[in-house]
């Protein structure tokens, strides 16, 4: 896989065209990682490119490791919202947004686990942690996603001289994604940050 004309090329990459974003980025020095909180990668990608939504991203990484690119990396996406990092406001102006297909926080009913959109997940896909003395459940990320996002972050770091790899939760208090199930330190170290 490589980057050509601000797009990923190679096996496992497909493209959707997001027409609502067209402003070019003057500086690209940060990658922001998110999770979709959606049912699957393609439905999330289609939502992100819709003209009637106020969100977008550069990439969506499916649970299989498949990549859907929505915008070239040099175009400003609307993924960070009200945000700050390293003394700067508005990270959309400096960053590439990567969404990972993941249902986010899950809710337990008996011995079953459900997303906010009422899809059931098997126990093998559930990550359990403790928050404020109570068990809290999150959708696990797949090894294919972790390996793929590590590969992409490495490519982006080298191509654009990226200085920071951050989670959405690192740049705004109103978000928790990609959440505790995501092995951030592993990805950060293995992609050279």
78-99 per-position pLDDT tens digit? 999 999 999 999 999 999 999 9
Please tell me the predicted confidence (pLDDT) of residue 129.
97
Coil vs helix vs strand at 190: helix
The mean pLDDT of 71-83, rounded to a whole number, is: 97
The mean pLDDT of 14-31, rounded to a whole number, is: 95
Confidence of residue 113 (pLDDT cuts 50, 70, 90): very high
Query: For residues 49 and 55, what is the distance between their CA atoms, to the nearest angstrom?
Result: 8
List, in order of start, the domains of the chain with CATH numbers. Answer: 2-102+141-190 (3.40.80.10)
Region at 50 (left for phi over 0; alpha for psi -120 to 50; beta for the rest): beta
CA angle 19, 23, 24 (to 5 degrees): 120
Query: For residues 15 and 109, what is the distance between their CA atoms, to the nearest angstrom?
Result: 38
Report residue 31 as tokens: 């990658």
Confidence of residue 128 (pLDDT cuts 50, 70, 90): very high
Catalytic residue positions, numbered: 99
Please tell me the predicted confidence (pLDDT) of residue 192.
97
């Amino acid at each position: 896989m490589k980057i050509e004309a601000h797009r990923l090329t190679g096996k496992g990459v497909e493209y959707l065209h997001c027409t609502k974003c067209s402003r070019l980025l003057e500086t690209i020095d940060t990658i922001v990682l998110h999770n979709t909180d959606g049912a699957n990668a393609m439905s999330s990608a289609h939502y992100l490119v819709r003209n009637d939504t106020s969100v977008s991203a550069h990439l969506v990484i499916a649970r299989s490791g498949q990549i859907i690119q929505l915008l070239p990396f040099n175009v400003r996406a609307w993924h960070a919202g009200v945000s700050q990092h390293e003394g700067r406001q508005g990270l959309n102006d400096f960053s590439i947004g990567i969404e990972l297909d993941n249902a986010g926080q899950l809710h337990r009913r008996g011995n079953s686990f459900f997303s906010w959109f009422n899809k059931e997940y098997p126990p093998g896909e559930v990550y359990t942690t403790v928050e404020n003395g109570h068990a809290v459940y999150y959708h696990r990320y797949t090894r294919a996603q972790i390996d793929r996002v590590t590969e992409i972050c490495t490519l982006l770091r080298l191509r654009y001289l990226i200085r920071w790899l951050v989670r959405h939760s690192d740049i705004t208090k109103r978000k928790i994604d990609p959440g505790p199930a995501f092995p951030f330190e592993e990805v950060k170290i293995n992609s050279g940050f």
